[in-house]
A = this chain, B = another copy of it.
Amino acid sequence: MEKIKVGIIGTGFIGPTHIEAIRRLGFVEVAGLAESSQEAADKKAAELGIPKAFGDYRDMLQDSEIQVIHNCTPNHLHFEINKEIILAGKHVISEKPLAMDKEESQELLALARKQEIVHAVNFNYRQHASIQNLHAMIGTGGLGKVNLVHGSYLQDWLLYETDFNWRLAPEVGGKSRAVADIGSHWCDTVQFVTGKKIVEVFSDLATVLPVRKKAMNATSTFSSQDDAEQEYEDIPINTEDYASVLVRFDDGSRGVFTVSQVSAGRKNKLSFEINGSKSSVFWNQEEPEKLWIGHRDKANEVLLADPSLFSPEARSAIHHPGGHNEGWPDALKNMMLNFYSFIRDGKNLKDDKPNFATFEDGHLSMCITDAILESHNRQKWVKVQASKEVHA
């Protein structure tokens, strides 16, 4: 069988994880990568065992052998590059956010539809086996009517005032930080499992550390200079470390979530509880193989991911027997498996239902982020205004 050929743009942290996930499939081949210079590209290609190296991604877009492109660049480049990928007629997996605001993401969505390519945005948390199983459970009425959804996404990597990173600069990371980076994952995951859309929000944002200290000699990381002598400059911060958001879903049910990047001890804790008219569930990404199921009239349950205990619809998302835990890399693998199976099987997004997030979900995510920012600024409930094309 001819393998599907793929090219990767950007090989920072996330690019290589895409490559490794793709390789697990067996029917897809990473044929090329693009970096910001030919030298960087050659070095990475050798390191990662990839045949073709491009110093300019535009050249890779012209490679007729390559059918699919992964956009793994920093946020501020997403829009422009996604646009070029689509115009080149390649299928695309973009890292989120799709763009810098909802107007841009709407443009991308319209263009992708016109070009009839397969498009995906890497909302990987919906690909955890337990999340796929929960989606099936809720879809078949396992919780009764879903009434309430509440949770949070907490990290600690920006806890200290000396923590500094490109994501803190609005011109690179975007005008929203905690909401766009991690709140977007929470909303996508919750919308996926419940099958509901967030339609209105009220938010409270805070920049817990309004001034941060940026190391002045960051370039000489490996100098023998003592840490104590490190000099810093004060950088005012304009994006939020924290947000709490009250939400309303399209069926009138309620929810609330909190995001924070300054919560010591929480590394990547995306969690939520859903209260239905019959049962509840709780899931925490730091223990992704467990699903707590709450009951009023019998003991609560903890379902450890296990194909023999999963809904039939979710069995294809889990690849090992119970007790052989899968984790974050396996969710990413599932994302790739679902996306590339869709392509291999000749499906298209007009006629077939994908089991991955598309640019439609990516656009909706941007609309929610924009509504959250607007609500905070106006101190009012704000409706999420997605393009009419979404769900059309």
**Which residues of A line the B interface, CB within 8 A?**
1, 3, 17, 19-20, 23-24, 26-27, 46, 48-49, 147-148, 150, 152, 154-157, 159-160, 202, 204, 206, 208, 242, 244, 246, 254-256, 258, 260, 262-269, 273, 275-280, 285-289, 291-304, 306, 308-309, 319-330, 379-381
- The answer to whether A148 and B280 touch across the interface, beta carbons within 8 angstroms, is no
- The answer to whether A260 and B300 touch across the interface, beta carbons within 8 angstroms, is no
- The answer to whether B254 and A320 touch across the interface, beta carbons within 8 angstroms, is no
Residue of B nearest to A294 (CB): B265
- The answer to whether A323 and B286 touch across the interface, beta carbons within 8 angstroms, is yes
The 28 sampled A-B contact pairs (Cβ below 8 Å) are A17-B320, A27-B49, A148-B208, A150-B244, A155-B323, A156-B280, A156-B294, A156-B296, A202-B202, A244-B254, A256-B258, A263-B273, A263-B275, A263-B294, A264-B276, A265-B292, A266-B323, A267-B304, A267-B306, A267-B321, A268-B321, A268-B324, A285-B323, A286-B304, A297-B308, A325-B325, A325-B328, A326-B327
The quantity of this chain's copies bound in the complex is 4
Write the nearest CB–CB distance from A311 to chain B, whole angstroms: 12
Which residues of the partner chain B approach A328 to less than 8 Å between Cβ atoms? 320, 324-326
Tell me which of B160, B279, B327 contacts A296 (CB under 8 A). B160
Which residues of the partner chain B approach A295 to less than 8 Å between Cβ atoms? 264-265
A292 to B301, CA, bound (A): 9
Which residues of the partner chain B approach A204 to less than 8 Å between Cβ atoms? 202, 246, 254, 256
Top 3 closest pairs, chain A to chain B, by CB: A265-B294, A268-B323, A267-B323
* Sample of 16 further A-B pairs with CB below 8 A, known A265-B296, A320-B328, A327-B327: A1-B49, A3-B49, A20-B26, A27-B49, A150-B258, A159-B277, A264-B278, A266-B280, A267-B306, A267-B323, A299-B309, A300-B303, A301-B301, A320-B329, A325-B327, A326-B327
A141 to B364, CA, bound (A): 42
Residue of B nearest to A152 (CB): B150
Write the nearest CB–CB distance from A323 to chain B, whole angstroms: 3
